[in-house]
A and B are shown apart, each in its own frame.
Chain A
Amino acid sequence: MKKRLSMLLAAALMLSLALTGCGNGRDAGTTSDAPETNSTAPVQSQAAEPTGGFEAGATIGVSLPWLGTQNWKEADEMFKTQLEAAGFNVIVQAADNKVPQQQQQIEAMIQNGAKVIVVGPIDGSQLGAVLEEAKAAGIYVIGYDRLLENTTGVDGVVQFGSIKTGELQAQALLDGLKEKKGDGPYNIELFGGGPADPNAPNFFTGAMSVLQPKIDDGTLVVVSGQTDFTQCATIDWDNSKAQARMDSLLSGFYSDKEVHGVLSPNDGIARAIITASEQAGQEIPVVSGLDAENESVEWVWSGRQYSTVAKPTDVLVGKTVEIIKSLQAGNGMPAADVSVNNGKIDVPVYELPPVVVTKDNAKEAFANDPGRLELLK
């Protein structure tokens, strides 16, 4: 039996030797997509590739991470309606927060002959090979809402400035503390988003750039002492994990203290924090948020959650659709606002400004959003 096994092994070995033999076979336009070349090509050469555009009814693929939060559900619907209205054939799929599933969905979009693939990644750094495959097939890849890292297969990214978002969240927290909790020092806690999402550390960095000076001068006291992003992060943006962390912070550090404010990276986590505080018998702290989810808009309106930051999905989708139309017309990628190195190349990034929403400005902020305006009653 061993003999047969060794024969098989020998055959496999011989085969691999034979395969390394030289020659070049078929004339390959792109023999390999050469991901090793640590390309530092300037942004312009990417953005200004000669393009002939493509037919008006072409297929556009949109791969979203999941439909578990309102902003993604909205993106799902808006992409469908806006791209269909523009005459494209649209495939929108969501991957249930599983990376292998998203990889396969993108491959299926390549199979379906998509001309542009819009990717809202689950983990921005884990789609490298698949996106390079798309690129090799001559497809435009646009990152949506999150940076696509560690790959050469990306043409541009549309997102809200994530450092800016963090700064706004922190500033809203400071304003809220002054308004609601009298004079300092204030006891606060910090929460971060899902570490796999490249935006999450940026939100935190942006927020800390505002908060750190106040922590240093003693206006703010982080009672638990947990100020590292890794200590504060919420894996997968999972609300229940954030609630569990808040529960243990409250029972561990706040049995004889009041928590005045909490930095929260999004609305779901904000509500989890508020719920945990209420259950622990605390007065509701000033909590920041993000995404303007319906539930949180109501909470802001009723005063339970101090603020949220709206990243209007319609603006983000609108910008993406605008880029797709420009590509279709053969005008290439429009000029970007900034370029960000993603670990392999410099990626053009289209940054959109987010909007802080508190009870005071909610009516103006949602003036163009009948659905949310309805909630302010």
Chain B
Amino acid sequence: MKQIKQVLGGELRKYTMVIALVALILIFHIASGGKMITPSNFQNLLSGNAYVLILAIGMLMVIVIGQIDLSVGSVSGFCGMVMALTATNLNWPWWAAVLCGLGIGVLIGAWQGFWVAKLGIPGFITTLGGMMIFRGGVIWISKSISVPAPAELKWFGAGYLPEWGPSFTGMNNSTLLLGIIAIAALAFMQLRKHKRTSELKGGNEPLWPVVTRIILGAVVIGYLTWLFGSGRPGTSFPIPGLILVILVIIYHTITQRTRFGRHIYAVGGNKSAAALSGVNVKKTYFLTMLNMSFLAALAGIMFVGRSTAAGPSDGNGWELDAIASVYIGGAAVSGGVGTIMATMVGGMVMAVLNSGLMLMGVGADKTQVIKGLVLLAAVAFDVYNKQPGHVSITKRLFSTKDSAAKEGSPAAKES
């Protein structure tokens, strides 16, 4: 048990949701008669949910600063519609239309950020206004009629990487290359981290947990590579998934490794203390709101690509899906706590639930009920674990005498 802990890096609580996710996937795989873990279903999981997960990235940051954004669905719909209209009615080339849609997203973000940061209007109210303004806007500019999108955009919303190179690999070589890069990056980062900690601790840090971690990671990535790459010829790791992965890497780095990222957590944890220690609270609010609308625009455009047309009701209710992903991922309602990675896991839990229940032929009505219960259960579980005096279930599973004493203190928190 102690060895397992060492391999996973000590913070077992982070893995609760991952374990739940894997368990869900396995349960659905069995219950649906082997239809869950297939290349095409995993491709669908990413293509079909990338837009929610992208929204969830922005929403996590908004929730961490202690705000909320209710307008993301409307903003997504509005920007997608602007993109479709400029391309179809004004005959702009598709890339110009996309840039225009994204630009409008940034402008909307600046508008929302202005009200929240400069005038101090609560985000809830600002974005409630935005939700109405931009929903009305979509219907207005589209005259509530769907507008077809340029055909090139389908690549962004539902496309695949090209096939190339030798065929003896038996899978999509683009996907294979991605997998190899991912494994190399993992090994490189783990080894560098190990080198740094052992320098700090005087060279006594054992190497074996690092190696085991790399091997485990390589097995997981390798398996996923095979899964995504071995589908029907012409399919691969989907483009929307690739865009998502790139965004996750960028935003994970921003939130965890940059000054702006630290400011986000500082402002969300304690606004006054952050302001007193020199954090520009207004700027943090402004940039976070701006970023949210930018990501909403991107998500909206990708969805239009997948749908091949922008519709007047695009984006209805998306904000709630994004918020649910963030909370299932363990973010705190009060702000200051939550990570991108956990949010992605939270979003995938919802996605897998959706997909699994559909594969089993469960109707939309019951799916809603089950998703609601899962949200409640996940947050309740998190709250229970955070209360001082309770020992979390995973910790109980893996605990050893010394570590229980060390980690049982209420000060222990993630992020």
Contact = CB atoms under 8 A, between A and B. Distances in A.
Interface residues on A, range: 35 or more
Select the residue from B48, B146, B165, B354 with max chain A CB neighbours within 10 A. Answer: B146
Contacts of A315: none
Contacts of B166: 23, 25
Given A1-B259, A26-B233, A108-B359, A103 B307 contact: yes
Contact of A235 (B144, B174, B358): B144
Given A12-B246, A196-B311, A125 B148 contact: yes
Contacts of A108: 44, 355, 358-359
Nearest to B362: A93
A92 B110 CA distance: 45
A243 to B, nearest CB: 18
Given A125-B307, A129-B307, A137-B232, 11 more contacts: A1-B257, A1-B258, A25-B163, A25-B172, A30-B233, A108-B44, A112-B35, A127-B308, A196-B144, A230-B145, A343-B148
B181 interface: yes
B307 A111 contact: no
B313 A236 contact: yes
Nearest to A127: B307
B263 interface: no
Contact of B181 (A15, A125, A149): A15
Interface string B285-323: 000000000000000000101111101111011000000
A291 B157 CA distance: 36
Nearest to A36: B151
A99 B313 contact: yes
Interface in B168-222: 170-174, 177-178, 181, 185
A344 to B, nearest CB: 9
Interface string A109-134: 01110000000000111111110010
Contact of B178 (A15, A28, A96, A107): A15
Given A1-B258, A28-B233, A93-B364, A19 B313 contact: no
Interface string B347-390: 00000001100110101110010000000000000000000000
Contacts of A35: 151, 154, 308
Interface in A278-312: none
Contact of B361 (A27, A91, A236): A91
B165 A230 contact: no
Interface string A204-221: 000000000000000000
B38 A126 contact: no
Given A19-B161, A22-B164, A100-B48, A196 B146 contact: yes
A21 B44 CA distance: 26
Select the residue from B164, B171, B306, B309 with max chain A CB neighbours within 10 A. Answer: B309
B146 A123 contact: yes
A286 B279 CA distance: 67
A108 B36 CA distance: 9
Interface string A5-18: 10011011001001
Select the residue from A96, A107, A110, A133 with max chain B CB neighbours within 10 A. Answer: A107
Contact of A19 (B162, B185, B257, B359): B162
Interface in A5-59: 5, 8-9, 11-12, 15, 18-33, 35-36
Given A8-B249, A195-B144, A128 B259 contact: no
B41 interface: yes
